[in-house]
Every structure is written in structure tokens, then in C-alpha cells.
Amino acid sequence: MRARDLTWPCTPVRLDTSLREAAEILIRERAPVLAVVSEDGHPVATVSAVRVLAAALPEAVRDDPLLAAVVGESVDDDVRARAASLRLGDVLPTRLPTPAVVSPDASPVQMASLMDRTGSTVVLVVDYDGDRPNLLGTIDAAILLQHYL
């Protein structure tokens, strides 16, 4: 079994993708992360659903958990508005951590080792045709665990 056999397809996104669009993709694809790619298709980051959700929250609520308990549903419209107006590039750090990338021929043990070394729970499976990348999808730790059980 190789990475190509375990890959979960995903829709690549760019830094100019709105948080709302990002959330819609995460929900529709039941994806563990978003795969962010550059203009030429090279993987530049992975973004979790938690990061997208947190970025849509008003800063005051993120900074003060007690405030979050008090405001309740009164900020829901603010969250929706932020999700529609902000882009991934607006909320991600300038220096993005390098995503864990494997070839379609990577073995499960290679992927597990890479996850362990990088602390990433997901690897991106990328097939290169020369210098042209083709993102095949993702493999998360749960898929690898399932492979071994």
C-alpha cells in the first residue's frame, strides 16, 4: 500500500480564498485540513478548521474567554461577516510552516515517520511532472492508524 492508495482528495485553495469559502470546502469535503497552494500550485501550508474558525471570531472574544461566555449568540453575525470579508492570507502568519509533503509512492511508515518528525497530523500527497505539482490529496494520522489496525 502506498500514499496514492490512502489519499483523501481535496480542493486546493490559495491565500486569497475567503474564510467563508475555506469553511465551505472543509465542511463539504469533510477534510482534516485545507491545502494552501501558491499561484503555480506548489503547497505552501495546511490550515485546520480550528484556525479558520478562530480567525473568524472577533479579536475581543478570542482574547477574553469570559467575554465569549457572556456575549453568546449576539456575535454570530459578526463572525459571519468576518468570515466573508477576511482572506486566508489576512489571518495566517507571514512565515508559514512548511507543509509535510510526500510522493504518491511513499509508504505508510514513511508518512508516519514524517508526521512524527514534523508534528503534523496530515501529509499532502503531491505528484510532480517535472516542476509542475499535482496535489492528489491528504492523508491524516487516523487513516494511517486505520491502515495498521
Q: What is the pLDDT of residues 41-68, one digit of tens each?
A: 999 999 999 999 989 888 888 888 788 7
- Would you call 77 exposed, middle or buried from its count of C-beta atoms within 10 A (0-12, 13-18, 19+)? exposed
Residue 79 exposure: Cα atoms within 13 Å on the Cβ side: 15
Strands of the sheet containing 101-102, edge to edge, are 101-102, 122-129, 132-140
| Predicted TM-score of the model (pTM) | 0.86
Question: What's the CA gap between 4 and 59, in Å, rounded?
Answer: 40
Most confident range (mean pLDDT) of 15-19, 30-34, 90-94 is 15-19
Q: What angle do CA 57, 28, 124 make, to 5 degrees?
A: 90
Q: What is the model's pLDDT at position 79?
A: 87
